[in-house]
């Protein structure tokens, strides 16, 4: 029920929002076409501006993934995680979900397809991937767009929040599904 409602809202919110903005613009006598194209001009500039920051972070993370170091960390900690009822298959997701969204989704698809729908690992992985946003990518895009290179505590906070999310996911799934 909740899901159906949410799906409906997700489908309707964009068209309703766009019509609302345009109508409101007309009511306030804003020349909407000119203002739209004027604002849209910046799209290219912003996208091009973030390229150097994206290249730095995406290349570094691609190299990290190719090097196999994530599997090392996952294996090293798997015995610790096992104490908390975390299946070994899920451990790479914990590390990768802060680094790369597509990789996290890839690992999750692998788990789901190989272990099947009745496995606890599939559920835990689903909650972990569904509740996360790729911290490194978000920071690179948003700071890159305004040309900020000194990020102060943004990454520390992002990663700590990710860690809390992982712990919460393990605790919640243990309580609900295990």
Considering only residues 3 through 22, tell me which ones interact with other proteins, judged by CB under 8 A: 3, 6-7, 9-10, 13-14, 18, 21-22
Q: Tell me the C-alpha distance between 90 and 124, whole Å.
A: 8
Give min distance, CB of 89 to other proteins, in A: 14
Residues 6+ apart with CB under 8 A from 172: 127
Residues across the chain: 178
Give min distance, CB of 158 to other proteins, in A: 4
121-150: contacts with other proteins (CB under 8 A): 122-123, 126-135, 138-139, 141-143, 145-150
**Does residue 160 interact with other proteins by CB under 8 A?**
yes
Measure CA of the first residue to CA of the last residue in the chain; give whole Å.
24
Give min distance, CB of 106 to other proteins, in A: 10
Residues 6+ apart with CB under 8 A from 123: 173, 177
95-114: contacts with other proteins (CB under 8 A): 105, 108-109, 112-113
């Amino acid at each position: 029920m909740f899901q159906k409602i949410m799906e409906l809202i997700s489908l309707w919110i964009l068209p309703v929002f766009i019509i609302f903005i345009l109508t409101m613009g007309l009511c306030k006598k804003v020349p909407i076409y000119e203002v739209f194209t004027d604002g849209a001009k910046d799209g290219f500039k912003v996208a091009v501006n973030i390229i150097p920051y994206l290249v730095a972070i995406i290349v570094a993370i691609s190299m990290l993934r190719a090097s196999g170091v994530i599997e090392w960390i996952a294996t090293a900690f798997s015995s610790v995680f096992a104490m908390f009822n975390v299946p070994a298959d899920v451990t790479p997701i914990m590390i990768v979900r802060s680094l790369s969204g597509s990789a996290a989704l890839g690992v999750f698809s692998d788990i789901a397809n190989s272990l099947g729908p009745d496995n606890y690992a599939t559920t835990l992985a689903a909650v972990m991937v569904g509740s996360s946003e790729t911290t490194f990518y978000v920071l690179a895009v948003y700071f890159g767009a305004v040309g900020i290179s000194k990020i102060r505590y943004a990454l520390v906070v992002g990663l700590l929040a990710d860690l809390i999310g992982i712990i919460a996911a393990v605790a919640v799934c243990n309580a609900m599904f295990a």
